[in-house]
Amino acid sequence: MSDNKVEAIEATISELKPGMKSVNITFKVMSRTEERTVESRRDGETYRVLDATVADSTANIMMPIWNDAIETIEEGVTYRLLNGYTGLFRGNLRLQLGKFGSISKAEEPIEEVNMELDMSVEEHSSPPRR
């Protein structure tokens, strides 16, 4: 394959694992933390971020929401994430929007969520770098 396109993965939150790319997933925003600012060690820029707990019928996970996306995310609303990915923050799994991902309101709301299985609690080791 010469075009380097990664096949999109339809997933539920309970199926997420470290290092997944091009993830399509539908979730409901259960809560948001207070917005805070962080300074990048790489370029010295200041960014806005908050952590959202998102869930579907299978599990829940933490998802950092950055900069302009903060204004588009509301508690209690169901969203569709296209081309997201998973990453680790201090050994804990996170769902990421990333610069190539997009998020929009879902057509069908999620009614039942699983708050018992928290995918962000289990500690993971970083996958080997290539």
Question: What is the Cα–Cα distance from 99 to 69, expressed in whole angstroms?
Answer: 11
Q: How confident is the model at residue 125 (pLDDT cuts 50, 70, 90)?
A: low
Per-residue pLDDT tens over the stretch 12-55: 999 999 999 999 999 999 999 999 999 989 999 999 999 999 99
Residue 11 lies in a domain: no
Per-residue pLDDT tens over the stretch 54-69: 999 999 999 999 999 9
Residue 77 lies in a domain: yes
Question: What is the Cα–Cα distance from 109 to 93, expressed in whole angstroms?
Answer: 24
Residue 7 lies in a domain: no
- How far, CA to CA in Å, does 8 sit from each of 24, 97, 112? 7, 14, 25
Per-residue pLDDT tens over the stretch 97-111: 988 999 999 999 999
- How far, CA to CA in Å, does 79 sit from each of 15, 60, 125, 129? 18, 14, 29, 31
The confidence score (pLDDT) of residue 99 equals 87
Task: Enter the DSSP assignment of 123.
Answer: B
CATH number of domain containing 101: 2.40.50.140
